[in-house]
Amino acid sequence: MKITKTPLSGLLIIEPTIFSDNRGYFFEEYQQERYVEHQIPTFVQHNVSRSKRNVLRGLHYQSPNGQGKLVNVIRGKVWDVAVDIRVNSPTFKQWFGITLSDETHTQFYIPPGFAHGFCVLSDEADFCYKCTAYYHPESEHGLAWNDPALNISWPIQSPILSPKDETYITLNKIPHEQLFT
């Protein structure tokens, strides 16, 4: 397993060791001791979503009850984005994007304090995320995927959004008490 830090503190790219032969491949998707060794907390919930091409989910976060997320794709290809919404962070309002696919099995760890979203680049994608805290509907928030102040370089032009994702506002309009310090 190879772990790479990103320019935004706390975001990690995790590349598993894959053993391939003429039968296929094998890799450990998760092994608790190895992740804890790298200061990645344990997980309490595992979610899976299936989405079709051009679906964009996000940008979501929970506050309070912030969730860390370990995300990966088990089928298809997505472009995944995390936005730093920690008001006291030197990288506040900065984002990082990475392509995740079933070809590389790369994982992306996003700690609490980041808004998260992804868009689907393949015909369909099965997206998995392990969470460090339970889902709390009353703590769920989001910000506009196309916030001009963030200038995220989404690789799609006309995303398919949920009704809820269509209503999210820009980061500068979100009350500071809904963000992280």
Sign of the four-CA dihedral 47, 50, 53, 58: negative
The catalytic residues are 60, 129
pLDDT at 129: 96
pLDDT at 155: 97
Confidence of residue 181 (pLDDT cuts 50, 70, 90): confident
Question: Mean pLDDT across the chain, nearest whole number?
Answer: 96
Query: Which candidate, 168, 20, 46, places its Cα nearest to that of 107?
Result: 46
Where do we find the tokens 């990288």?
91
Has residue 3 got a pLDDT over 90?
yes
Are residues 82 and 108 in contact, defined by beta-carbon separation less than 8 angstroms? yes
Q: What is the pLDDT of residues 5-46, one digit of tens each?
A: 999 999 999 999 999 999 999 999 999 999 999 889 999 999
Q: CA nearest 10: which of 44, 38, 52, 50?
A: 38
Q: Which domains can be identified in the chain, with CATH numbers?
A: 2-16+30-178 (2.60.120.10)
> pLDDT of 118-165, one tens digit each?
999 999 999 999 999 999 999 999 999 999 999 999 999 899 999 999
**pLDDT recorded at residue 64:** 93
pTM of this prediction? 0.95
Q: What is the mean pLDDT of residues 102-124?
A: 97
